[in-house]
Structure 1
């Protein structure tokens, strides 16, 4: 079949599943190809071996071979392999690659399935040889998908175990996923933190990372959306229809907790960090008008030589602008001049009593005490470990790991304690409101979150703003004018 002077490159390919299924091996293929070349007096220019799928030609060794072929386009040569499924398992890409090889005076040939390209009818056999591997791949993929679908309907998780679990094979051969510590405990802790709706998701991820959960930001988001952790497995029937099946594995959290977390992260957290900064900096945007053209003022940052500066500005040709921090402070000072009227103070006292602040305070004190106990336990554990390390009872690696875990736990507990203390302080301030000579209800305006600030600005919008001096007049509607008054007016009363 080959000219005595013809040269060839040997291409040997195998994939892991083929070795298991058909017993293919690289040495066996190489041995057969070398014997074939020796028998037919074919000069072997090079041997290229790889363990890679033949779904496409994006294979490391094949790319190297093609580079060599293109650099020696003037020489007549061949690429030899055992069967056409070693060359490709995609008929469309295979024909395309055969055309490329022809341009460089190279012939692809399978020694077990020879094709005489000079005979037109031989293209029929080539189509058969190439289509069979592709059909095998398609059938195998379909069987695999059906098997995974059946396994999920039975409540089994057939894929690689998600973080927090590990794949196990039982004595009877059944494959399951089981909780893997300490990741499982940390993921459970993260869900319990999320449901409190106190911290941002990124802060909880960082706290979980400090505790030992090593995953990226995107991976953490996949974790908190994955129903596997509450014992459910999602089964898709088509692009629109899916259902949840009760899994046979042990859940890390309850279904109730999982869906509460989904409600929080899907409805209250869809805000980017950049949008948060813009809203918090320009909370008066939408309520200010340009004194020259009457347009609504926008807000943006201007890059200075050392830092960024924020301005409310007009987008018209008048180019009016004013420092955002200056105007925000002017509005805040004007707002803090408003206090409750005498009649409203009595009503507030009744409301505070109805809120049952004593029971809330008792709950927070209990939580505070529990966190302090846990902190003391962590300190005690670390102290004991340090003593064992000093007397050489505890190895350095074990001590280092224990210390790292203990410090991470203490950091999280201190953060929880800080949140509880803030709540207790808020309750204490509420209980003291009615006893003040006049109530500074807007004293804590600067510490409010952006949503509450915008709500207050909407209730008490600024009017008649002097952009030179910063003097602002506030508009009180009928209801608010009856319960709020200025400090100056209150002193006169």
Structure 2
């Protein structure tokens, strides 16, 4: 090996858990190259997850590899195989692509002699262990979230109208956030009056300061978190509802009434006086494309 590209990678969660650092990896690789008289062609520093190869620095490195002469043998060095990938399928696919460009990937702490057929067994182990770690960590996280929800706590990112906080005991919770919470209360009360279409209510809520798309607004109206309940998914067809410890924005009876309106096709009445004050130019402005009066739909 006469020359090599150095690849160092760390993700934010790994740095918190294991103390990985880019400078530490880089320093070890440089010392390895110096000791073995390997010329460093470039250093690529990545702060990204290794679940796939859709990473900015790796893309740049791979592009550099492709630019080089097809007859030139190239090498990529990293500390361990989990710096290269944490997904067996993607790892083997990328190794095949590198081989096409006469490039060898190598971990200095877990060396593989690709000229020996049995070495593929060790490569499989080196690649499978990080993926198994990721899967186990994801399962543990999901189980922890589920246990917290069963206890009435909401550990996920707070839905609109709430904000995440840490209590005195160190546990996570959600509390109402203004002005969004008050706007959501108003929206629920408007829906049960059935005076306006839900799309019109959403537009007024947006004008009041609730930044919410149409699909997101319908998810808000169907989310029991706002009446103090937490939905826990058991499987694809079953869910469990538990009483939450957070402060509800609306009552359960109001939530049930809103579900009746949302899930039933009902024709809204023609009360639009309050909308006129919001869309006061409706019927006056003309579309420059179709030459029709502008309205709200």
Asked if TM exceeds 0.5, the reply is yes
Corresponding position: 1:95 with 2:92:
yes
Greater C-alpha Rg: 1
Q: 1:99 to 1:200 in 2, by over 3 A?
A: same
1:10 pairs, out of 6, 11, 26, with: 6
Deviation of 1:52 after TM superposition, in Å, equals 1.0
Q: CA deviation at 1:130?
A: 0.6
Does residue 111 of the first structure (1) align with residue 108 of the second (2)? yes
In the TM superposition, residue 115 of structure 1 has moved relative to its aligned partner by 0.8
- Residue 44 of structure 1 is matched in structure 2 by 40
What does 1:239-388 correspond to in 2, within 5 Å? 239-268=236-265
Q: Aligned with 1:79: secondary structure?
A: strand
CA distance in 1: counterparts of 2:27 and 2:264, whole angstroms: 63
In the alignment, the residues of structure 1 paired with residue 122 and residue 176 of structure 2 have an alpha-carbon distance, to the nearest angstrom, of: 53
Match in the other structure for 1:159:
156
Question: Which residue is equivalent to 1:214?
Answer: 211
SS in structure 2 opposite 1:261? helix
- Root mean square deviation, CA, Å: 1.8
- 1:66 aligns to 2:62 (yes or no): yes
After TM superposition, give the deviation of residue 82 of structure 1 in Å: 0.6
Whether 1:223 and 2:204 are equivalent positions in the alignment is no
Structure 1 residue ranges, 4+ long, deviating more than 6 angstroms after superposition: none
In the alignment of these two chains, the number of paired residues is: 273
Aligned to 1:290: none
Structure 1 SS opposite 2:9: strand
What SS does structure 1 have at the residue aligned with 2:200? Answer: helix
* Structure 2 portions without partners, runs of 5+: 278-297
Mapped partners of 1:216, 1:28: distance in 2: 45
Distance 1:136 1:60 in 2: 24
- In the TM superposition, 1:436-451 aligns within 5 A as none
Whole-Å separation in 2 of the counterparts to 1:270 and 1:108: 65
Residue 56 of structure 1, aligned match among 41, 46, 52? 52
Q: Which string of whole-angstrom CA distances, capped at 9 and with x for unpartnered residues, describes residues 201-254 of structure 1? A: 111111111111112222212211111111111111111111111001000001
What's the TM-score once normalised by structure 2's chain length? 0.88
The equivalent residue for 1:192 is 189
Return the offset for 1:43. Answer: 1.3
- Secondary structure of 1:235's match? strand
1 CA distance for matches of 2:213 and 2:127?
42
2:22 equivalent to 1:26:
yes
1:147 to 144, 149, 165: 144
8 Å CA contact 1:190–1:205 kept in 2: the answer is yes
Q: CA deviation at 1:255?
A: 0.8
Q: Are 1:194 and 1:201, in contact at CA under 8 Å, matched by a contact in 2? A: yes
Q: 2:121 aligns with which of 117, 121, 124?
A: 124
Q: Which moved more, 1:58-67 or 1:246-255?
A: 58-67
Gaps of 5+ in 1: 272-411, 419-493
- Distance in 1, matches of 2:144 and 2:38, equals 46
- Would the aligned equivalents of 1:7 and 1:76 in 2 still touch at CA under 8 Å? no
Q: CA deviation at 1:37?
A: 1.2
**70, 74, 78: which one pairs with 2:75?**
78
1:205 aligns with 2:205: no
| Structure 1 SS opposite 2:98 | helix
Q: What is the Cα deviation at residue 191 of structure 1?
A: 0.4
Shift of 1:74: 2.6
Alignment of 1:233-244 (within 5 A): 233-244=230-241
Residue of structure 2 in register with 1:474 after alignment: none
Task: Indicate how the Cα distance of structure 1 residues 117 and 61 shifts in structure 2: closer, same or farther if over 3 A, else same.
Answer: same
Partner of 1:283: none
Deviations 1:401-457 (A, max 9, x none): xxxxxxxxxxx9x61899xxxxxxxxxxxxxxxxxxxxxxxxxxxxxxxxxxxxxxx
Q: In structure 1, what is the Cα distance between the partners aligned to 2:101 and 2:14?
A: 31
Q: Distance in 1 between matches of 2:80 and 2:182?
A: 51
For residues 114-160 of structure 1, the C-alpha deviation after alignment (integer angstroms, 9 at most, x for no partner) is 11111112111111111100110111111111111111111111100
Distance in 2 (CA, whole Å) between partners of 1:136 and 1:416 is 55
